[in-house]
Amino acid sequence: MVFQDIARKLKDNINGYTYNVGDLLPTEIQLSQTYNVSRNTLRKALDILEKEGMIERKHGAGTYVRRKSFIAHVEHMNCLSEIAKNSGKEIVSQIMRFEVQGATHLISRELNITENEPVYYIKRLRIIDNKLAQ
């Protein structure tokens, strides 16, 4: 649906560098013109972000960024390995637990999927130069 696409785009802008925590978002009219959608469609998108706690609407004052989403993107998951490798350190990963679970309420909300939808749960131990990585 269009409003979900708009919500995703706004979320990407909040999680990226377009908006910071505490920033005032453009007005509903400006955002609806930017995304070429009706104000009603835009409001549905903003409702999603408000329910996720990313924005806060203040009547008469505007819409503010409350927080960014902290779900890591897949392309950044090897960051620790790359840092250790580039520093000449030996890194070992030990899988402690790997299973398919139903998404919890929080996870489903952050990933924009339905609750109990199957997701991978991975718990691993990282060791750098024979020391537990914190």
CB neighbour list of residue 8: distance below 8 Å, 6 or more residues apart: 112
pLDDT at 55: 93
Select 2-65's CATH number: 1.10.10.10, 3.40.50.720, 3.30.450.40, 3.20.10.10.
1.10.10.10
Cα–Cα distance list, 41 to 13, 69, 96, 102, 104 (Å) = 18, 22, 44, 30, 28
Q: Mean pLDDT for each consecutive 10-residue tract of the chain (134 residues)?
A: 92 84 93 96 95 91 83 54 74 90 88 89 87 74
Domain spans, the chain: 2-65, 74-132
Flag whether the pTM goes above 0.85: no
Residue 72's pLDDT is what? 43
- The fold of 74-132 is Chorismate lyase (3.40.1410)
8 Å CB contact between 19 and 13 = yes
